[in-house]
Amino acid sequence: MSSDLDYKHIWLFVCVCVCVCVCVCVCAKVNLPLNPVQCFTFFTPYEFPVILLLLASLGSVLCFRYSALPKWCKAVVINIVSVYYVVSLLQCMSLCCLFPDLIPPSVCNLLNSSTIYANNEVSLAEVDIYGFDYDYTLALYSDALNTMIYNTARDFLIEHFKYPEGIRKYDYIPNFAARGLHYDIQKGLLMKIDAFHYIQLGTVYRGLNPVPDEEVLRLYGGTHHVPLQQVSGFYGKGPKVKQFMDIFSIPEMTLLAVANDFFISNDIEYDPEHLYKDVSEAIGMVHIKGYMYKWIMQDLEKYILGRDETYAVLHRLVSHGKKLFLITNSPFSFVDKGMRYMVGKDWRDFFDVVIVQADKPHFFNDCVKPFRRLDGNGDLQWDKINSLDKGQIYKQGNLYDFLRLTGWRGSSVLYFGDHLYSDLADLMLRHGWRTGAIVPELDLETKVVNTEQYAQSLTWLQALTGLLERMQMHRDSQSREVLQDWLKEREELRLRTKNLFNPQFGSIFRTCHNPTYFSRRLCRFSDVYMASISCLLNYDLSYTFYPRRTPLQHEAPLWMDQLCTGCMKTPFLEEMAHIR
For the annotated catalytic residues, the residue numbers are 133, 135
- Residue-level length of the chain: 580
Q: Distance (Å, rounded) from C-alpha 381 to C-alpha 216?
A: 56
Question: β-strands 117-118, 528-530: how paired?
Answer: antiparallel
Q: Which residues are annotated as a binding site for GMP?
A: 135
Q: Distance (Å, rounded) from C-alpha 534 to C-alpha 526?
A: 17
Q: Which residues are annotated as a binding site for Mg(2+)?
A: 133, 418
Distances in Å between the alpha carbon of 353 and those of 132, 315, 408, 425? 11, 16, 12, 21
**Cβ-contact 129, 434 below 8 angstroms:** no
Q: Which residues are annotated as a binding site?
A: 133, 135, 418
CA atoms within 13 A on the CB side of 200: 27
Cβ atoms < 10 Å from Cβ of 407: 8
Q: Could you tell me which residues are beta bridge partners of residue 225?
A: 198
CA atoms within 13 A on the CB side of 94: 8
- 123-135: string of b/e by CB count within 10 Å (b at 16+)? ebeebebbbbbbb
> Residue 559, exposed/middle/buried by CB under 10 A (0-12, 13-18, 19+)?
exposed
**Cβ-contact 200, 495 below 8 angstroms:** no
Distances in Å between the alpha carbon of 136 and those of 168, 329, 334? 28, 12, 14
Q: Which long-range contacts (CB under 8 A, 24 or more apart) does 335-340 make?
A: 335/134, 336/378, 337/296, 337/297, 337/300, 338/134, 338/138, 338/139, 338/296, 338/297, 338/300, 338/304, 339/138
Q: Distance (Å, rounded) from C-alpha 365 to C-alpha 260?
A: 36
Q: Distance (Å, rounded) from C-alpha 150 to C-alpha 145?
A: 9
